[in-house]
């Protein structure tokens, strides 16, 4: 390839990059806007067997824990300014499976809905890390048994904190997120989630 061809290609590439940058800047949203999004990912239980045993009030410890599962979430929010937003959300937090030593199993299926305040740091017009804190009404349904009819397995619910960290990438009107959240159900049961989300701003 000749020097002239290389130079022409470089100039054309630079022109395209400049044009794309100008278009991206022109397409940035106002500081105030509403948004909707959906996310998927996975969850992990952050408790040991004794904690889980206390949570379901079973009185038995002869089981192993399979605590990784897929999750999904939906959220809607409003950005008040560049630094602050508020969201409502619903999350299906997946399933934790307890396997008894005799092959019996119990599933703990959890979901939560609530609201969060989101603090944002607009590093650039398209990249924005954030932190959030809120509260969720949650429910864990216990299905199955651990091979002992005398064990008292209990469904559980409550209203407890939710907090997280993440980063948002803005491509007007699309937003893309990657985030970590902790659902702190109580001292005996805590679920961490890692999700990727896509949304639209209005």
Residue 6: which pLDDT band, with cuts at 50, 70 and 90? Answer: very low
DSSP symbol at 3: H
Q: Is the pLDDT of residue 1 over 60?
A: no
Specify the long-range contacts of residues 66-69, CB closer than 8 Å, at least 24 apart.
66/96, 66/97, 66/98, 66/99, 67/43, 67/96, 67/97, 68/42, 68/43, 68/44, 69/42, 69/43, 69/94, 69/95, 69/96
- The total of other beta-carbon atoms located within 10 Å of residue 53's CB is 20
Q: Tens digit of pLDDT for each residue in 138-160?
A: 999 998 877 766 677 889 999 99
Q: Is the pLDDT of residue 42 over 50?
A: yes
Position 68 scores a pLDDT of: 80
Report d(CA 187, CA 185) in Å as an integer.
7
Report d(CA 195, CA 57) in Å as an integer.
30
Class of domain 32-201: mainly beta
Burial group, residue 63, by CB count within 10 angstroms (0-12, 13-18, 19+): buried
- The total of other beta-carbon atoms located within 10 Å of residue 64's CB is 12
Give the least confident one: 12-16, 53-57, 128-132, 193-197.
12-16
- The total of other beta-carbon atoms located within 10 Å of residue 26's CB is 8
Average pLDDT estimate for 82-91: 97
Residue 188 · residue 55 · CB < 8 Å? yes
Domain chopping of the chain, boundaries:
1-30, 32-201
Burial group, residue 6, by CB count within 10 angstroms (0-12, 13-18, 19+): exposed
Report d(CA 127, CA 135) in Å as an integer.
26
Q: Tens digit of pLDDT for each residue in 112-141?
A: 999 999 999 999 989 999 999 999 999 999
- Percent of the chain at pLDDT > 90 equals 57
Q: Tens digit of pLDDT for each residue in 156-191?
A: 999 999 999 999 999 989 999 999 999 998 878 999
Burial group, residue 92, by CB count within 10 angstroms (0-12, 13-18, 19+): middle
Q: Is the pLDDT of residue 198 over 60?
A: yes
């Amino acid at each position: 390839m000749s020097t002239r061809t290389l130079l022409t290609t470089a100039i054309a590439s630079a022109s395209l990059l400049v044009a794309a940058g100008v278009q991206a800047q022109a397409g940035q949203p106002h500081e105030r806007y509403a948004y909707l999004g959906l996310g998927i990912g996975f969850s992990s239980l952050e408790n040991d067997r004794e904690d889980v045993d206390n949570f379901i009030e079973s009185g038995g410890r002869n089981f192993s824990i399979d605590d990784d599962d897929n999750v999904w979430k939906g959220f809607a929010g409003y950005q008040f300014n560049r630094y602050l937003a508020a969201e409502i959300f619903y999350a299906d937090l997946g399933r934790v499976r307890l396997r008894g030593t005799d092959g019996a199993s119990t599933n703990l299926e959890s979901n939560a809905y609530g609201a969060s305040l989101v603090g944002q740091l607009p590093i650039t017009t398209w990249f924005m890390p954030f932190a959030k804190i809120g509260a969720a009404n949650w429910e864990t349904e216990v299905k199955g048994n651990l091979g002992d009819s005398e064990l008292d397995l209990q469904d559980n619910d409550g209203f407890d904190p939710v907090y997280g960290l993440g980063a948002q990438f803005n491509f007007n009107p699309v937003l893309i997120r990657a985030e970590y959240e902790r659902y702190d159900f109580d001292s005996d049961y805590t679920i961490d989630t890692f999700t990727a989300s896509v949304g639209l701003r209005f």
